[in-house]
Amino acid sequence: MWEAADIIQLDAVGSTNDEAKNHARQGAAEGTTIAAARQTKGRGRQGNRWLSEPGNLYMSLILRPQVTAAESGQLSFLAAVALANAVEKVLPAGVKITLKWPNDLLLNGKKAAGILLETEAADWLVMGLGLNIAHAPEHAVSLGSLGGHVAPPDMLHMVRAEILVLYRTWQEKGFAPIRAAWLARAAHKSQEINVRLPNETFRATFLGIDEAGALHVRLPDGQERHIASGEVFGL
């Protein structure tokens, strides 16, 4: 595996994902990791700007999983579980760690991290992670504000180690154990949520995620839906 793959630590970069993609195009080994003290053009899903002040974790890994595009989407759940496992080691007991579909880490109900998978070739993808350690934007939360004091380079190694363990599990046993670990930490279990899609917004009861990672909900009329892409919000 890729325990010995390069970790490239930068003072500043536009986006760690963009830097990682440049390395992937040039044939960088699986597990090559780009980290930066700050980003000047950090982004989240759907092009949303990701505040990237020094003191937080900004990292991107190159993976070469050799699976279909649909299967590679399972890696966002893997990354979320890895983040949760890592932050649990530095937070005081009692902090509630949950995962919100499709790709957010919540601490006491507030967003603390995000995940962005990107690819432009069949043989690689980049897994980008941003974790609030020292700073958080309005309505979000940082580890430090909850008593979790850790240096970004130390958290980088912790998160990377968790990803490696889960990646091995995923390759050997498939998505089932990753799905089970994600569901064990899922936010809004059996609760009503708002589901926002490009062309509609509706209320439904959160049932979980299916074997492909799609959101599984029950509508007020009893019908069930599986949703591959969208956003959810607690009521």
Do residues 36 and 12 make contact, with C-beta atoms less than 8 angstroms apart?
A: yes
When divided into structural domains, the chain yields a total of 2
| Same domain membership, residue 70 and residue 109 | yes
Q: 15-34 pLDDT, tens per residue? A: 999 999 999 999 999 999 99
| Same domain membership, residue 170 and residue 66 | yes
Q: In the chain, what are the helix, strand and coil shares in percent, each to the nearest 5?
A: 30, 35, 40
| Same domain membership, residue 200 and residue 175 | no
| Same domain membership, residue 153 and residue 45 | yes
Does residue 1 fall inside a structural domain?
no
More confident residue, 173 or 138: 173
| Same domain membership, residue 216 and residue 103 | no
Q: 197-208 pLDDT, tens per residue? A: 989 999 999 999
Q: Which of 59, 53, 63, 18 is nearest to 159 (CA)?
A: 59
| Same domain membership, residue 122 and residue 224 | no
CATH number at residue 207: 2.30.30.100
Q: 33-86 pLDDT, tens per residue? A: 999 999 887 665 545 565 567 899 999 999 999 999 889 999 999 999 999 999
Strand 124-131 to 57-63 pairing:
antiparallel
| Same domain membership, residue 202 and residue 180 | no
State the residue range of the domain holding 22: 7-184
Does residue 55 fall inside a structural domain?
yes
